[in-house]
């Protein structure tokens, strides 16, 4: 069932509330290793998180809202990690050529995805089941902006930067998401990386 947007009833403002919301997300992810998302109950998620049903409904109106937020946070955290890595590369090697720089960033991204392969495979699957087109476009735009931030030190022209960033996202996202949707336990990461780099560089 497609939902219009993530519906969070109450945004956590205090550290304890944030920890509670994070615990619910972590419990959901842990249970995903045992069964498919549609088979999991809210009661199972709250029991594992150590909170009551009432607490769940303080933050979410239904399970799908928790899933949508978990996907969003997972993608956002990955984008932040990638930006941090890319900017540290520039500081360490200010004379790095664009091709070498992009190759190292893509390698880091694929390493991160491979390290959490199960969760990424589930993310791509659930994204298609839960997210509507508006949420999907918002998430995709966030990733394009991430690439713009990463490539900005090398590409000064704004239109060119936007075009290159969009194409890098298309290739990386397309290759990885389609691969893990079809083959969740995919293992030929070196070959996949070569194909992605060949197209992008």
Instruction: Annotate 115-136 with b (16+ C-beta within 10 A) or e (fewer).
Output: eeeebbbbbbbbbeebbeeebe
C-alpha 137/C-alpha 134 separation (Å) is 5
Q: Is 69-200 CATH 1.10.3720?
A: no
CA atoms within 13 A on the CB side of 52: 3
CA atoms within 13 A on the CB side of 112: 16
The pTM of this model reads: 0.86
> In this predicted structure, what is the pLDDT of residue 126?
95
- 199 Cβ contact list (under 8 Å, min separation 6): 171
Mean pLDDT of 122-126: 95
Judged against a pLDDT cut of 60, whether residue 10 lies above it is answered with no
Q: Is residue 175 within 8 Å of residue 196, measured between CB atoms?
A: yes
Domain ranges across the chain: 69-200
Judged against a pLDDT cut of 50, whether residue 178 lies above it is answered with yes
Query: What's the token pair of residue 56?
Result: 């769940």
> In this predicted structure, what is the pLDDT of residue 131?
83
Q: Is residue 194 within 8 Å of residue 119, measured between CB atoms?
A: no
Each residue's pLDDT tens digit, 59-99? 999 999 999 999 999 999 999 999 999 999 999 999 999 99
Confidence class of residue 2 from pLDDT cuts 50, 70 and 90? very low
> In this predicted structure, what is the pLDDT of residue 8?
57
């Amino acid at each position: 069932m497609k939902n219009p947007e993530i519906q969070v009833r109450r945004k956590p403002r205090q550290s304890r509330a944030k920890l509670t919301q994070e615990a619910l997300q972590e419990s959901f992810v842990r249970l995903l290793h045992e069964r498919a998302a549609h088979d999991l109950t809210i009661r199972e998620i709250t029991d594992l998180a150590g909170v009551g049903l009432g607490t769940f409904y303080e933050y979410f109106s239904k399970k799908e809202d928790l899933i949508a937020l978990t996907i969003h946070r997972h993608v956002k955290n990955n984008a932040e990690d990638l930006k941090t890595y890319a900017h540290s590369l520039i500081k360490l090697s200010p004379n790095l050529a664009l091709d070498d720089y992009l190759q190292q960033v893509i390698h880091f991204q694929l390493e991160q995805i491979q390290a959490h392969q199960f969760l990424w495979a589930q993310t791509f699957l659930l994204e298609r089941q839960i997210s509507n087109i508006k949420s999907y476009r918002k998430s995709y735009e966030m990733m394009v902006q991430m690439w713009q931030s990463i490539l900005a030190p090398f590409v000064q022209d704004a239109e060119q930067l936007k075009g290159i960033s969009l194409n890098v996202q298309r290739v990386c996202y397309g290759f990885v998401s389609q691969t893990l949707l079809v083959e969740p336990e995919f293992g030929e990461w070196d070959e996949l990386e070569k194909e992605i780099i060949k197209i992008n560089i």
